[in-house]
Structure 1
Amino acid sequence: MPVKDFMTKKVVYVSPDTTVAHAADMMRDQGLRRLPVIENDKLVGLVTEGTMAEASPSKATSLSIYEMNYLLNKTKIRDVMIKNVVTVSQYARLEDAIYLMMKHHVGVLPVVDNEQVYGIITDKDVFKAFLEVAGYGEEGVRVEILTDDTVGILAKVVDTISEENLNIKRTVIATRKSGKVAIEVQIDGHADIDMLKTKLVEQGINVKAIEKTFAKSLD
């Protein structure tokens, strides 16, 4: 799954000469926490809520409100932005983006190729991608199976479900710390969950959970 399929393509950005006050207004009005800094169509930095807060005078300052506003309207983004920005390619896998976020302790990655910004991917985009991959918010039936790493178990699960004329929309397989393998199957449409569970159990399949799922918007 490439980053380009999950990134936000419409990028709101500022220039290095934007004032801190104006950038703060943009963040507030558009509900943003970070803004890429672009100059001559190239990424030159990143400004976040944290860097903005550091640039703002402390509440303990003796400056008047007028003096603080004057200071924020004179301070440029180039003076407070993060210059060494961690980026990711739009062709990188989503897992690579997650790894970079974890390694560098950041919640946003500008998506850059050949020095041009194509989008931005945030921790929120990653959470949404996980929900989409897991089939969360889709109407149907979810079956969770816990098994040993046995050859042919997945084929047996698929065959059993197919024999009931049910369509498998997605399958997620993960190895637990216990060594057990968890298989989660999302089935499209409606199904008799009691009958399906019985059929699976008859095939020696350990059904940990089976439930109906309902449509939910992820936006």
Structure 2
Amino acid sequence: MNVEHYMTKNVITVSPDTIVLEALDIMKENHFHRLPIVKDDQLVGLITEGIVQQHSPSRATSMSIHEMNYLLNRTRVEQLMEKTVITTSKDTLIEEAALIMREKDVSVLPVVDENNHVVGIITEKDIFSALIDLTGYNDPGARLVISISKDQVGVLEKITTILAEANIGISHLFVQHPGEKIEVTIQIDHTETEEVEKILEANGYPVVQTVNK
């Protein structure tokens, strides 16, 4: 699954000479917290509510709201914007985009093409949505967590074969390694799990957790 599937494609951008107060109004009206800065169709920076707050006078000062707005109404975004912007491409895997965000400690990645044109933007919320879809948590059915005593080649094939022979469909499957344990989580299209648990346990695969949805 790539960034393209979850990014916002119709990205609102502003130019470097946009007034900060205007940029804040755009963010407020559209219910987001950052804006890519574009000049000559090229990404040149990023302005966020957080950046503006960092450059605003401290509450401990005597500056009034009127005076602060006066300054923000005369400050251009290019004077405050982050110029070294971490970006990604639309073909980047969602997992890789999440890793970039974590390692670089950012909550948003502008998506650019080979010519540095902005073609989208992806945020932490988009990554969360992708995670939920990847695990199938919102899909109907039930989820079973199986404990595996030893990681061996062919284990997943054996489990899927057992369920297939019992006419039980699998929509999602993933493996976790919490500590020294190995767990296989299976999303099935059945809501009656008691018989499924018996089948798995009879074949040496104990079910340690069941979630019916």
State if a TM-score over 0.5 links the two structures. Answer: yes
State how far apart, in whole Å, the 2-side matches of 1:69 and 1:6 are: 35
Partner of 1:216: none
Q: Which residue does the alignment assign to 2:126?
A: 125
Aligned residue number for residue 194 of structure 1:
194
Does 2:11 align with 1:11?
A: yes
Q: Which runs of 5+ in 2 are unaligned?
A: none
Query: How far is 1:191 from its partner?
Result: 4.0
1:1-219 map, 5 Å = 1-114=1-114, 115-147=116-148, 148-178=150-180, 180-188=181-189, 190-213=190-213
**Retained in 2: the 8 A contact 1:88–1:109?**
yes
Quote the offset at 1:69 in angstroms.
2.0
Tell me, yes or no, if the aligned pair for 1:34 and 1:48 is still in contact at 8 Å: yes
Q: Distance in 1 between matches of 2:99 and 2:28?
A: 29
Q: Give the C-alpha shift of residue 68 in structure 1.
A: 2.3
SS in 2 for 1:74: coil
Aligned pairs, number: 211
Worse overlay, 69-78 or 47-56? 47-56
Task: Note if contact 1:166-1:191 (Cα within 8 Å) is conserved in structure 2.
Answer: no
* Cα shift readout 1:161-190 (whole Å, capped 9, x = no counterpart): 112222211111222321x322111112x3
Structure 1 counterpart of 2:153, one-letter code:
V
**TM-score normalised by length of structure 1:** 0.89
Q: Secondary structure at the match of 2:59?
A: coil
Measured in 2, the distance between the counterparts of 1:66 and 1:130 equals: 43
Q: Percent identity?
A: 41
Give unmatched runs, 5+ long, in structure 1. Answer: 214-219
* C-alpha spacing 1:18/1:11, structure 2 compared with 1 (3 Å): same
Counterpart of 1:130, as a letter, is L
Q: Distance in 2 between matches of 1:181 and 1:56?
A: 50
